[in-house]
């Protein structure tokens, strides 16, 4: 069994919980997820099975999209609704949409972000949340992220001194959306936290295309495996080249280089045998040839 399952993760479960469940359901250990979702976050969690586990790093590195909610007027230890209150500063009146749009605009493009203390980032061999639970504050490494799009979705609500703002964000790998919520508030001079978050797109899959664990179990009972998307389907947007007999038998089967002309050298290249992806190559400017980046020889 090889392919990617566009799973719909539910609130309250960890990403690892689903890997464990699917190993039992599918009777295979060769399973991996493509980017952790916190227990309080639901939505798209692509799961790689069999040969597709080789794609984990590739799919994890793709941009992701979320829809969520920022609450202005309070901050928490975890930067989401699970944490204890750190600061409270209620609003006297709501911000106008035009004022909020100005902040959204300022927070697009290249940004520097410091991971939250309650996160799995490692510092000196320990995860940050381990330090946080012990009450120890440590210096956290900065990281560069990219925000492709960040905008308001619906009319904000205001009640009891809190303003809630629905948003959509498309961001690069490694972005902590709850930290974006905190930074959004800081730019308005207010404490803030992320009060809700759903991942709506990851690895090319939209939430409308996902399956719950329950649906997968029902489909398996009916011998229906359509929840499993083939490697070729997942990589359909990557440029491809159908191999000749010589290229396949003499070159690719042995991890050899390829001399191919007239292709976009800035992008990766899928090399196919009878229409099936057998490897992903990248162009090496020094050698002037295409070299193997990822081998998928057993893909069928």
Are 220 and 278 in the same domain? no
Catalogue the active-site residues: 38
What is the per-residue pLDDT across 97-113, written as a single tens digit (0 to 9) for each? 999 999 999 999 999 98
The CATH number for 285's domain is 2.30.130
Q: Please state the domain count of the chain.
A: 3
In the chain, DSSP finds a helix count (H) and a strand count (E) of 8, 18
Distance from chain centroid for Cα 89: 32
Are 138 and 222 in the same domain? no
Are 97 and 176 in the same domain? yes
The predicted pLDDT at position 121 comes to: 65
Distance from chain centroid for Cα 74: 27
The predicted pLDDT at position 119 comes to: 61
CB within 8 Å of 11: residues ≥ 6 apart: 39, 40, 41, 42
Are 182 and 216 in the same domain? no
Are 171 and 249 in the same domain? no
Are 189 and 210 in the same domain? no
The CATH number for 193's domain is 3.30.2350.10
Lookup result for tokens 């308001």: 152
Q: What is the pLDDT along the chain (300 residues), one digit of tens a residue?
A: 889 999 999 999 888 899 999 999 999 999 998 878 888 999 999 999 999 999 998 888 889 999 999 999 999 999 999 889 999 999 999 999 999 999 999 999 999 987 765 666 676 677 766 766 777 777 777 889 999 999 999 999 999 999 999 999 999 988 999 999 999 999 999 999 999 999 999 999 999 999 999 999 999 999 999 999 999 999 998 999 999 999 999 999 999 999 999 999 999 999 999 999 999 999 999 999 999 999 999 888
Q: Are 144 and 175 in contact (CB under 8 A)?
A: no
Q: Residue 23's domain spans which residues?
A: 3-62+204-232
Are 218 and 271 in the same domain? no
Are 246 and 284 in the same domain? yes
* Residue 93 within a domain: yes
Task: State the Cα–Cα distance between residues 46 and 230, nearest whole angstrom.
Answer: 12
Are 245 and 287 in the same domain? yes
* Residue 28 within a domain: yes
What is the per-residue pLDDT across 156-168, written as a single tens digit (0 to 9) for each? 999 999 999 999 9
What is the per-residue pLDDT across 39-67, written as a single tens digit (0 to 9) for each? 899 999 999 999 999 999 888 888 999 99
H helices within 171-227, ranges in order? 177-187, 213-221
Q: CB under 8 Å, gap of 24 or more: what pairs does 283-291 form?
A: 284/257, 287/257, 289/257, 289/258, 289/259, 290/257, 290/258, 290/259, 290/260, 290/263, 291/257, 291/258
């Amino acid at each position: 069994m090889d392919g990617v399952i566009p799973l719909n993760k539910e609130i309250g479960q960890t990403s690892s919980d689903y890997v464990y469940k699917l190993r039992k359901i599918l009777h295979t250990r060769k399973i991996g997820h493509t980017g952790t979702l916190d227990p309080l976050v639901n939505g798209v969690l692509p799961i790689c099975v069999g040969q597709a586990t080789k794609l984990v790093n590739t799919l994890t590195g793709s941009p992701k999209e979320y829809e969520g909610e920022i609450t202005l007027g309070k901050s928490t230890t975890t930067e989401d609704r699970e944490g204890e209150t750190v600061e409270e500063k209620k609003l006297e009146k709501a911000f106008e949409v035009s004022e909020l749009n100005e902040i959204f605009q300022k927070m697009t493009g290249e940004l520097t972000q410091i991971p939250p203390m309650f996160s799995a980032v490692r510092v000196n061999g320990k995860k940050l949340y381990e330090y946080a639970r012990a009450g120890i504050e440590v210096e956290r490494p900065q990281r560069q992220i990219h925000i492709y799009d960040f905008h308001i979705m619906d009319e904000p609500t205001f009640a009891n001194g809190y303003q809630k703002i629905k948003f959509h964000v498309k961001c690069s790998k490694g972005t902590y959306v709850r930290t974006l919520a905190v930074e959004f508030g800081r730019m308005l001079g207010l404490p803030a936290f992320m009060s809700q978050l759903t991942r709506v797109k990851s690895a090319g899959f939209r939430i409308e295309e996902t399956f719950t664990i329950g649906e997968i179990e029902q489909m398996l009972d009916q011998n229906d495996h359509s929840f499993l998307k083939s490697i070729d389907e997942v990589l359909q947007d990557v440029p491809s080249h159908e191999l000749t007999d010589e290229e396949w038998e003499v070159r690719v089967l042995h991890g050899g280089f390829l001399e191919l002309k007239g292709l976009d050298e800035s992008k990766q290249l899928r090399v196919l045998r009878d229409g099936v992806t057998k490897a992903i190559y990248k162009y090496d400017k020094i050698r002037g040839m295409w070299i193997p980046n990822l081998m998928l020889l057993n893909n069928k």
